Amino acid sequence: MKLPWNDPRSNKFATTIGLITSDGLNGPNIMACEWTHHLSYDPGLVAVSIGPTKTTVENIRTSKEFGVNLCSSDQSLLSSVAGGYSGSNYNKINALKEIGFQFYQANKIKTLMVKGASLNVECNLFQEVTCGDHIMFIGEVVDAIHNPEKQSLIYHGGKYWSLEQLIKPNEEEREKIRWILEKYKK
């Protein structure tokens, strides 16, 4: 069964927007990636799933590294430009600089990182896996910087969202749940 892009069923997932930066045969590039995942604490592993025809795929394959910049809630325009145009046809980095967005040189890899992102992660390519119609690049984290003042941008239902904190069950409710679960312990 297919679960295509923009299908109402696919739109039920909520994800962060990873701004994937790379530098390779196609020069410096940035793309918006809906499928960005933290896979492992030790070693720190992050995965990005990218369509095989994307310019970023070739850049990562040649350079063996990439940046993952979690888009902050005030960077929806940056995400729209990075995701709406192909790095094969446009120098998106220079266009975004002219619009007013800023980049900085990564500390441990040879690519640019997005200034003002909620999280900047520098990765060396750990593994490449073909998963259906996408390629998953798993990166081993070599440096990571978080911005405590920034909230990550969320993508859901074809729209951008920001997070709103919800209240977890209080201690009394959790104790009642523990008591019920103990009755059903195996």
Condensed to tens digits (0 to 9), the pLDDT of residues 131-157 reads 999 999 999 999 999 999 999 999 999
Residue 35's alpha-carbon distances to 94, 132, 156, in angstroms, are 25, 14, 12
Under DSSP, the state recorded for 152 is B
pTM confidence score: 0.91
Q: Is 49 helix (H, G, I), strand (E, B) or coil?
A: strand
